Amino acid sequence: MTSKMSREIEPIVRIRPAIIEGVEVAIEAFAGAARMTIGELSALKQGDIVALDRSIGSDVELRLNGVVIATGELVAVEEMFGVRITAIASE
């Protein structure tokens, strides 16, 4: 049985790019981050302001599995947030 199957299936050397290109992935847009202790985090209450590590006008990061793949400006697309890509990560 095994030898029959191995004869019928053509040996595949590489995964076909079309399969990979058809995989759905999630891209996340981050506006910035803040670093703090758990104690500080737990003390946060409603109305508190936490400054991010980015200035107004700074691009947001587009991350794929946590890796920054591009940056862009935050825009509104009708009632939704959107990101217009301004730079593609070089590495």
Partner 1 sequence: MTLQVRSWLPAAALSRPALEAAVMWLVSAWARDWFVDGSSTSITAVASDAVTRFDQWHGGDAWDIRFDEASSIAVGAACGGHAERQVTRRDQALLAHAGHAAIADLAERFHHRVSSGRMVGGSHAPSALMQRHSERAHQFMLGDRQIGWSLLIACDDKAVIALRRAIGGANAPPAQLALGTIGQALESHMIDLGALVGSTRILAGEVARLAIGDVLVLDRKTSETLPYVIDGQSISSGRLSLRTDGDKVTFCIEQPILATVETSRS
For partner 1, the binding residues (CB under 8 A) are 20-39, 41-52, 54-56, 58, 60, 62, 64, 66, 69-70, 72, 74-77, 79-88
Q: Which is nearer to partner 1, 8 or 53 (CB)?
A: 53
Rounded to 5°, angle at Cα 90 from 86 and 91: 135
Tell me the closest approach of the beta carbon of residue 3 to partner 1, in angstroms: 36
- Quote the CA–CA distance of 60 and 31 in Å, as a whole number: 5
Q: Which is nearer to partner 1, 11 or 17 (CB)?
A: 17
Question: Which residues is 68 bridged to in the sheet?
Answer: 63
- Quote the CA–CA distance of 22 and 29 in Å, as a whole number: 21
Tell me the closest approach of the beta carbon of residue 7 to partner 1, in angstroms: 33
- Quote the CA–CA distance of 57 and 86 in Å, as a whole number: 12
Q: Which is nearer to partner 1, 8 or 21 (CB)?
A: 21
